[in-house]
């Protein structure tokens, strides 16, 4: 009798090996490695299922189970400690070399756009929060600063976004047009469009291709598309309208690069980007396009930094929801203080919205795969307590438990995901 086993030729490509690495804000601009661990790391969904009991059956019945609780957690056995890691591990922790501006009045919200100063120069990145205070003084969170990854994806990511060695999936509907890589970008390559004799008003586009080129949008979320454009020669119109879903901007072509930003709330999932001239480009007309990006933003506002000095923020209200004159704009943020003394002092405090981490991820290796397996917990707080055990001839290795949380605007999506590599 032969040996019966579940092993197959695919088995070596389906084994997760080693402890992996733990990242905070994985995939975002402020991603950081938590540090060295010892004793491995753990990802636990903590999903609780309840059997709905009815009279009669002797056991569980198909269709009569429901999810009653989901508390996904990542546990990291952290041997590398620092002030930053200690603050991360202690929910509501504060440190003596950081200051906090809470509920600072910056203006009356009776116009569509309110611009205000951020008075402290060394603002901690992603700590800004913007609130609306009504006549009774009740605060409502309008926006928070967060940076999301680019929506440019796929095999031709680099050429679609930065034109490193080609123009990727960019397409001209008219057969006579030509677009090519050029070295006239702001800091390197760009894309040059050259109109042919059979050009069209819609002279260039990047089709989202159902998420294969541009990540599909989520209806109701706010996005920002930015680009820089300049002309060589452009005889007809001189204005180019650039659209992405519900957003559009009229770009005036000049002989120098001008950066434009299109902000919009997605009305559909199509992220196709289109460039349309005021008229059909003349044969031989040309322009250069550079500095492209498309990403999600939180809230109806834009943060504009000027070398971190005289920083200004701007909140933009939709036309049908402009606050009244008795409503006020309030901001809060964390900023850096000058170092003082021999120690940074860590103390406890109330848990603020800024204590939550956008995500925590374990990134691990899969045997036979090029790409890693990624286990992610979202809207994270280290809320399981903190203990530091020190022993002779040993090192302190505290266990930090990161717990995911639902958000008030999405109580249906479980706050976790697993990304399994295809290759």
Where residue 278 sits, what CATH number does that domain have? 2.60.120.260
Where residue 83 sits, what CATH number does that domain have? 2.30.110
Same domain for 214 and 292, yes or no, is yes
- H-run or E-run covering 257: none
User: What is the rounded CA–CA span in Å between residue 41 and residue 37?
Assistant: 8
DSSP reduced 3-state for 216: coil
In a domain, 152, yes or no: no
What pLDDT sits at residue 5?
85
Same domain for 306 and 329, yes or no, is yes
Where residue 120 sits, what CATH number does that domain have? 2.60.40
In a domain, 356, yes or no: yes
What pLDDT sits at residue 360?
94
User: What is the rounded CA–CA span in Å between residue 157 and residue 161?
Assistant: 6
DSSP reduced 3-state for 285: coil
What pLDDT sits at residue 325?
76
- Give the residues across from 171 on adjacent strands: 205
Measured from the Cβ of residue 185, the count of other Cβ atoms closer than 10 Å reads 20
The first and second tokens of residue 240, run together, are 């180019």
What pLDDT sits at residue 309?
41
- β-pair type (239-244, 247-252): antiparallel
In a domain, 1, yes or no: no
In a domain, 63, yes or no: yes
pLDDT in tens, the chain (423 residues): 678 888 888 888 888 888 899 999 887 656 889 999 999 999 999 999 999 999 999 888 999 999 999 999 999 999 988 888 888 888 888 777 777 677 666 666 555 555 566 656 567 766 777 787 888 888 777 766 665 778 888 888 889 998 988 999 999 888 889 989 999 888 789 999 999 988 889 999 999 877 788 988 888 778 889 898 999 988 877 899 999 998 899 999 999 888 888 888 888 888 899 999 988 898 999 999 998 989 887 655 544 443 334 455 556 565 556 777 778 878 787 777 766 678 888 888 888 877 888 899 999 998 988 888 999 999 999 988 888 888 888 888 889 999 999 988 788 889 999 988 887
Same domain for 176 and 235, yes or no, is yes
The first and second tokens of residue 196, run together, are 């042919």
The set of residues, in sequence order, having a beta carbon less than 8 Å from that of 387 and lying 6+ positions away, is: 398
What pLDDT sits at residue 110?
54
The set of residues, in sequence order, having a beta carbon less than 8 Å from that of 142 and lying 6+ positions away, is: 130, 131, 132, 299, 300, 301, 315
User: What is the rounded CA–CA span in Å between residue 239 and residue 250?
Assistant: 6
The first and second tokens of residue 270, run together, are 């199509």
DSSP reduced 3-state for 320: helix
Same domain for 269 and 195, yes or no, is yes
Same domain for 171 and 109, yes or no, is no
Same domain for 60 and 128, yes or no, is no
In a domain, 2, yes or no: no
Q: What percent of the chain has pLDDT over 90?
A: 29
In a domain, 76, yes or no: yes
User: What is the rounded CA–CA span in Å between residue 72 and residue 378?
Assistant: 9
Q: How far is residue 85 from each of residues 79, 145, 238, 265, 319, measured CA to CA in Å?
A: 10, 21, 53, 36, 43
What pLDDT sits at residue 304?
47
The last residue of one of the domains, among 267, 297, 327, is 297
**CB-based contact 33:40 (threshold 8 Å):** no
The last residue of one of the domains, among 232, 267, 297, is 297
In a domain, 6, yes or no: no
Same domain for 90 and 114, yes or no, is no
Q: How far is residue 305 from each of residues 115, 182, 226, 299, 311, measured CA to CA in Å?
A: 12, 30, 16, 17, 5
Same domain for 292 and 215, yes or no, is yes
Containing structural domain, residue 378: 11-94+343-419
What pLDDT sits at residue 116?
60
Same domain for 290 and 310, yes or no, is no
Residue found by looking up tokens 């599909």 in the block = 216
Q: How far is residue 51 from each of residues 54, 55, 72, measured CA to CA in Å?
A: 9, 12, 21
CA dihedral 163, 165, 171, 176 (to 10 degrees): 120
153-162 as b/e: b if 16+ CB within 10 A: bbebbebbbb
What pLDDT sits at residue 72?
95
Split into its structural domains, the chain has a count of 3
Same domain for 354 and 409, yes or no, is yes
In a domain, 73, yes or no: yes
What pLDDT sits at residue 274?
94
Same domain for 351 and 383, yes or no, is yes
Same domain for 179 and 222, yes or no, is yes
The set of residues, in sequence order, having a beta carbon less than 8 Å from that of 345 and lying 6+ positions away, is: 95, 96
In which order are the strands placed within the sheet that holds 273-277?
Answer: 202-206, 273-277, 239-244, 247-252
């Amino acid at each position: 009798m032969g040996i019966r086993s579940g092993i197959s030729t695919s088995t070596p490509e389906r084994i997760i090996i080693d402890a992996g690495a733990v990242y905070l804000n994985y995939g975002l601009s402020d991603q950081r490695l938590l540090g060295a661990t010892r004793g491995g790391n753990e990802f636990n969904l903590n999903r609780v299922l309840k059997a709905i009991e009815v009279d009669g059956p002797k056991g569980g019945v198909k269709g009569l189970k429901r999810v009653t609780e989901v508390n996904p957690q990542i546990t990291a056995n952290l041997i590398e400690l620092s002030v930053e890691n200690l603050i991360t591990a202690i929910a509501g922790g504060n440190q003596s070399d950081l200051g906090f501006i809470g509920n600072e009045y910056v203006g009356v919200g009776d116009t569509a756009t309110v611009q205000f100063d951020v008075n402290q120069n060394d603002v901690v990145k992603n700590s800004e929060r913007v609130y609306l205070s009504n006549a009774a003084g009740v605060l409502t969170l309008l926006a928070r600063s967060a940076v999301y990854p680019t929506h440019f994806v796929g095999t031709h990511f680099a050429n679609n976004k930065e034109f490193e060695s080609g123009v990727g999936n960019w397409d001209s509907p008219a057969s006579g047009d030509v677009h090519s890589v050029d070295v006239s970008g702001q800091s390197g390559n760009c894309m040059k469009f050259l109109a042919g004799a059979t050009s069209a008003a819609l002279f260039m586009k990047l089709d989202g291709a159902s998420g294969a080129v541009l990540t599909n949008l989520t209806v109701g979320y706010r996005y920002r598309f930015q680009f820089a454009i300049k002309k060589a020669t452009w005889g007809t119109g001189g204005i180019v309208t650039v659209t992405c879903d519900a957003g559009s901007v009229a770009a005036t072509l000049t002989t120098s690069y001008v950066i434009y930003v299109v902000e919009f709330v997605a009305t559909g999932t199509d992220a196709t980007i289109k460039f349309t001239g005021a008229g059909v480009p003349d044969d031989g007309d040309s322009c250069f396009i550079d500095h492209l990006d498309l990403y999600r933003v939180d809230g109806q506002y834009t943060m504009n930094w000027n070398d971190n000095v005289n920083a200004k923020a701007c909140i933009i209200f939709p036309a049908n929801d402009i606050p009244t004159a008795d409503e006020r704009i309030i901001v809060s943020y964390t900023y850096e203080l000058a170092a003082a003394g021999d120690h940074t002092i860590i103390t406890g405090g109330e848990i603020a919205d800024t204590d939550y981490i956008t995500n925590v991820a374990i990134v691990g290796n899969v045997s036979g795969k090029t790409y890693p397996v990624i286990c992610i917990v979202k809207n994270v707080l280290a809320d399981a307590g903190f203990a530091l055990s020190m022993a002779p001839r040993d090192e302190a290795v505290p266990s930090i438990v990161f717990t995911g949380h639902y958000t008030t605007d999405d109580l249906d999506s479980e706050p976790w995901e697993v990304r399994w590599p295809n290759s």
